[in-house]
Each structure stands twice: as structure tokens, then as C-alpha cells.
Amino acid sequence: MPSTNTAILTQNLTKFYGSFQALHGVDLSVQRGEIFGFLGPNGAGKTTTIRCLLDLIHRDGGEVVVLGVDPAADPVAVRRRVGYMPGELHLDESLTAEALFRYFNELRHGAADWAHVRQLAKRLDLEIQRPIRNLSHGNKQKVGIVQALMHKPELIIMDEPTQGLDPMMQQVVLGLLKELQASGSTVFFSSHIMNEVESIAHRVGIIRDGRIVEVADPKTLGKRSLNRVRIRFQQPVDGAELAKVSGVTLLSQDNGHLVHLQIEGEMDPLIKALAKMPVSDFETERPSLEEAFLAYYDEPEKK
């Protein structure tokens, strides 16, 4: 039995699509009031896990408890207290955003405060009178965000919430999630954006091939992340010397003037080593989340 502080608990959650096993016993525990980032490459099982939490798909094995309720036993009770935004957002385009919100609010028996809906729309710079079919991808995403947050849910589940939004609007959305968390809500979200996860998540769960490979705080994971740097030197240098620095791998070098390195973990030792060299240009390149973290989990000996 989960403690009353647990917002989401899955134990040995399994799911098959025909003969294909999508989830191989997912174990997750999300505490009430925390922001939990859920990461993984495409096809890892993020969306399948999320859809099991809402009983949109039926699990084939294991236990799921959301806000103290088994969603398979009482899905309506769970959904009443949850705000959900799917990763692949599709809206009824024949409606205006306002008509859609009113319909969803009726489905929630008027749980949303309409002044709050307008306030959310204003913060997201969304015109709710416009037909959804005339909205850009980013604005449709905003509609998805408002509908998920408009009833001030206890638990917010979002699959890639900032996808398609401009950087400024991404910050607004992250700010909203932080505010909701501060007011007592739990946030469970998936993302591909490293900075986003680092900036707001208290803990991060990584799923790969339908299994949770690690749950940790973002700083711990950050230390394992990979970075790539491209350094141009005023004079030729020996790249192999740089490769001796802890965590550094030489990827390529061009006549000793241009060196391409990969750094695992902290950048500090490399910076100190470069201080003694004639550097003319230094360029960092942050790999995608998959490259950065999942390369780590690809190597069994590092687990």
C-alpha cells in the first residue's frame, strides 16, 4: 500500500501491444508536491507509462496507484484530480479554444474557475476566441496546456509540454509548473530538453526499452552528461595530451589547430588544462538528451 505522500506508484508495470512488450516491469514512485522529469528516447515507453496511469490503455501486469486510487478500478476518480496533456496533441478543430475549454469544463462538472482560465490564456498570450483550426502549432500547444491546468489539478501529467513553443513561452510554462508545484500540485512531465529538466525537476526518472534505468536528482545526472567541444588553437597542439585529462575523449584533430573532444561529467579539468594552451576559439556543443544520458546507459559496465 503506498504512503499518503505518494502521488504516483507503479510496481512491475507491464504492457504488451500484441506480441510486442512495451513495458518490462516499470517501477516508479513520485512523491506528492514534487516535480518529476520523465526522460527517455522515442519508443522507450514514456507515453505508454503515462497512458497506463490514466487507464487510457489497460496494463497487462503490475500495480498502479495514482493519488491513492488504482486507475483501472476507478479511472474517473483519478482523471478528476489529474490534468493531462498528451505528447501528440490533437484537438477538435471545429471549435474555438474557448468552446473546447467550456466543453472540457462541463466534463469536469464545472471544476474550473473561468477567471483562472482567462488568466492562464493571458499569461500564455493565447486568443481563446479564435477557431483552433486557425491556430499555429505553438498556439495549439498552449490550448493543450490551458486545458490541463485550468482546474488546478492535484497532479499534472504532461508529455513534452513545451514542444513547439518559443524559448520565451517555454519559460512561462515552466514558471507555471513551478507555481503549481509551490501551491501543492505534483508535476510529472516528460521532456527531451535537458535545460528544462535541470531547471525545474526535483528528480528525474530515465526509461529505456520499457525499463526504468535510474531515478536520480538532475545534478547527479548532469555530472554524467556528455558535452562536445571544438577548440581552435593559435599553434598546433597534441590532441592526445588533452585526451589524458579526466573524462575527455579525443574525437578528431585537424593538423593540431582544430581539436574535437567529448567530455563526460565536469568541464573544469579540461578548462584548467586549456589555460596553459594558446586557444583562439572554444565552442561547446550540447548533445541531445538521448546522446548525453543514454550513451551512458548503453554501456553496461558503467551501470
Partner 1 sequence: MITVFKHTLSRSRGAILGWGLTLAIIAMIFVPFYDSIAENAEQFQQMIELYPEELMAFFTGGSSFNFTTPEGFLSVEYFSFMPLVIGVFAILAGSGLLAADEERGVLDLVAAHPVSRTALFWGRLWSLVVSLFVILVLGYAGVMIGTTYSLMDLDAVETIIPFASLFAYLLFFTGLSLLLSMWLPSRSSASMVAGIVLVASFLLAGLTQLNDTLAAIEPFLPNVYYQGLGWTDGFKWDWFFILSGFGFLFILLAWWAFLRRDIRVGGEGSFKLPWFRRPQKSLA
Burial code (b: 16+ CB inside 10 Å, e: under 16) for 103-128 equals ebbeebeeebeeeebbebbebbebeb
Stretch that binds partner 1, among 13-21, 243-251, 269-277, 295-303 (CB under 8 A): 13-21
Query: How far is it, in rounded angstroms, from Cα 259 to Cα 229?
Result: 8
Number of chain positions touching partner 1 (CB under 8 A): 40
Q: To the nearest whole angstrom, how small is the minimum distance from the Cβ of residue 66 to partner 1?
A: 12
Stretch that binds partner 1, among 62-70, 82-90, 249-257, 281-289 (CB under 8 A): 82-90
Ranges assigned E (strand) in the chain:
6-17, 20-31, 35-39, 61-66, 82-85, 155-159, 186-190, 203-208, 211-216, 226-233, 248-254, 258-264, 279-285
Query: How far is it, in rounded angstroms, from Cα 139 to Cα 100?
Result: 14
Instruction: Locate 3 and state its grid cell.
Output: 504512503
Burial code (b: 16+ CB inside 10 Å, e: under 16) for 65-95 equals bbbbbebeeebeebbbbbbbbbbebeeeeeb
Residue 188 lies near partner 1 (rule: CB under 8 A): no
Stretch that binds partner 1, among 80-88, 121-129, 245-253, 270-278 (CB under 8 A): 80-88
Residue 2 lies near partner 1 (rule: CB under 8 A): no
Residue 48 lies near partner 1 (rule: CB under 8 A): yes
Q: To the nearest whole angstrom, how small is the minimum distance from the Cβ of residue 82 to partner 1?
A: 8
For the beta carbon of residue 187, count every other beta carbon within 10 angstroms: 27
When the beta carbons of 61 and 278 are compared against partner 1, the nearer one is 61
Residue 209 lies near partner 1 (rule: CB under 8 A): yes
Draw the binding track, 110-149, toward partner 1 (x: CB under 8 A; -: no contact): ----------------------------------x--x--
> Given the rule CB under 8 A, which residues bind partner 1?
17-22, 24, 43, 47-48, 51, 54, 56-58, 75-77, 79-80, 82, 84, 86, 88-92, 94, 103-104, 106-109, 144, 147, 209-211
